[in-house]
Structure 1
Amino acid sequence: MSGTQSLERAFLLLRVIAAAGQQGASLEELRAVLRCSQATVYRLLQYLRRQGFVRGAQQRGCYVLGYELFALGAQAGNASALRERARPVLLRLAQRFGDTFFLLVADGHQVLCLDMLAGELPVQSYSGAVGGRIPMGVGQASQVLLAWLGRTARNEILAHNAATLRLDYGLEIERIIASLPSVRRLGYASGLVDKRLPGYTGLAVPILASDGQPLGALSCALARPRMTDTRRQALAQAMQDEARRLVIALGEQGA
């Protein structure tokens, strides 16, 4: 087995273990996904375990992610101190409005939830939790990130995700593209109704660098009946103000 193949299998193994959650993944489950011998899977597991990337689950014979991944993720997720600086922002917004607020960033063809702070009322969200990913094009954060991307990059991302958006969410890329001029004019996105979470809505604003490029997005999620026109305007104003303050804080830290 080549070094590249071993690396690919190790990454796949970590993703399968992550998807298994707290109960963990068994050796047999991992072998079935990797389609290789039990001895090979066991060897990879032992190597990852020595590095701290994998550990034994409470259920004997199963594996969960190790704490070393948490340590690495905390560093990777705080590039340019965005996550650290945004945490008080999410706290202030959640306390003021009682809704759940998110910090999301573009990551290739996907949107990654870098941080979130739950409000008083439980909600469902596309990303689910910190570290969750959704296809770019889904949700209001995707809209604001796409609206401030260059046309070439935007079109490539949407073309890549077109089948997933249509089949899993009932979203056509033409509908997404048609919404973007309004998003730029208003300075925020309210999301497009899809078949995955039709009972929920939200609002997102871009976090824009001095050159106009999106560093990420602040987003909120709430049940659709709660999104009155008055609440939408209040959310948009507060989140835009917080996004501007956040960019200033990031600039001062980098100075």
Structure 2
Amino acid sequence: MIDSSPETARGEDRLVGSDRVLVVLRVLAEHPEGIGLEEMAKAVGSPKPTAHRALAALRRAGFASQDGRGRYVLGDDFLRLAFAHHEARPDHVRIRPALVRLAARFGETAHYAVLDGREVVYRAKVDPPSGAVRLTSTVGGRNPAHNTGVGKLLLAWALPDDAAVTAWVDQAPLERRTPRTKVSAGELAEELAAVRERGYAVDDQENEEGVTCLAVPAFLTSSTRPSGAVSVSALAYRTPLPSLVEAVPEIHAILREP
């Protein structure tokens, strides 16, 4: 029984009941449009009275409610708890599951980085599965923003036009890490304009010879401004940059996965 009292229910019955309530909660989450009692009973493989008792327990806790049609939906209290918990988690913790998926999919290193002045700081890193050559980047490490994919992605938002780019470049000379590094205001302005138009940034061996990178925005705290950038950084001989560019829609899809 789901709502057996401690005095009359055996320990294993309480465990089964708790499990059933959690299954009902999961089914509710899978039906944002609402679900009827009969549908719920079928979904959890229980008689309607049993499913109803589980829903009643969730309603008492504020974790379920009924809409105007009598269908069951997640309760506002549950949503408030979920969103409050999600917002309280550090951004690098929230993004890590996506980085794990990206590293596994491409067999390359995935990063999450934020902009700090003229540099990017790596907040999270997931290496590819064992056996692959790994990059030397470290969590907490820094790189100049202008020669990295994550940096250029975030600069494109921070410097909205050519005038802003020129003023930023004039503040200090840009380091040339490789022969491909863009160090003039004109080159960087052209690059950032392209980033704004296509929605992603690339590092074509501009920070380190032999290493390419593709970066996309991560909207963890706002739907209009990225909190940071996610990148797939690869050895150029193993994963050429054009193959990463072709995979941009897939990268976005992986980031959207729950």
1:220 to 207, 232, 236: 232
Whichever residue aligns with residue 227 of structure 1, its letter is P
1:229 to 228, 237, 242: 242
- Provide the C-alpha distance between the structure 2 equivalents of 1:178 and 1:136, rounded to a whole number of angstroms: 15
- 1:87 equivalenced with 2:100 (yes/no): no
Is the 8 Å Cα contact of residues 89 and 242 (structure 1) preserved in structure 2? yes
- 1:184 equivalenced with 2:196 (yes/no): yes
- Provide the C-alpha distance between the structure 1 equivalents of 2:142 and 2:170, rounded to a whole number of angstroms: 18
Cα offset for 1:228? 5.6
Cα offset for 1:129? 0.4
Corresponding position of 2:211: 200
Is the 8 Å Cα contact of residues 136 and 157 (structure 1) preserved in structure 2? no
Is the 8 Å Cα contact of residues 136 and 161 (structure 1) preserved in structure 2? no
Is the 8 Å Cα contact of residues 218 and 239 (structure 1) preserved in structure 2? no
Segment drifting more, 109-118 vs 147-156: 147-156
Residues 85-125 of structure 1, C-alpha deviation per residue, up to 9 Å, x if partnerless? 01111111111111100000011221000010011422435
- Provide the C-alpha distance between the structure 1 equivalents of 2:225 and 2:195, rounded to a whole number of angstroms: 15
> For 2:143, what is the secondary structure of its paired residue?
strand
> For 1:240, what is the secondary structure of its paired residue?
helix
Whichever residue aligns with residue 229 of structure 2, its letter is A
Is the 8 Å Cα contact of residues 212 and 241 (structure 2) preserved in structure 1? no
Cα offset for 1:230? 3.9
Is the 8 Å Cα contact of residues 206 and 243 (structure 1) preserved in structure 2? no
- Provide the C-alpha distance between the structure 1 equivalents of 2:201 and 2:178, rounded to a whole number of angstroms: 23
Please list, as runs of the form range in 1=range in 2, the aligned pairs for 1:70-85 lying within 5 A after superposition: 81-85=90-94
- 1:148 equivalenced with 2:160 (yes/no): no
Please list, as runs of the form range in 1=range in 2, the aligned pairs for 1:49-64 lying within 5 A after superposition: none
> For 1:162, what is the secondary structure of its paired residue?
coil
Whichever residue aligns with residue 157 of structure 2, its letter is W
Corresponding position of 1:71: none
Is the 8 Å Cα contact of residues 122 and 138 (structure 2) preserved in structure 1? yes
Cα offset for 1:199? 1.1
> For 1:143, what is the secondary structure of its paired residue?
helix
The percentage of aligned residue pairs carrying the same residue is 28
The alignment covers a number of residue pairs equal to 165
TM-score normalised by L of structure 2:
0.55
- 1:160 equivalenced with 2:159 (yes/no): no
> For 2:233, what is the secondary structure of its paired residue?
strand
Corresponding position of 2:30: none
RMSD: 2.9
Whichever residue aligns with residue 100 of structure 1, its letter is T
Residues 169-201 of structure 1, C-alpha deviation per residue, up to 9 Å, x if partnerless? 84313222211122122211122443x512110
Cα offset for 1:238? 2.6
Corresponding position of 1:134: 143
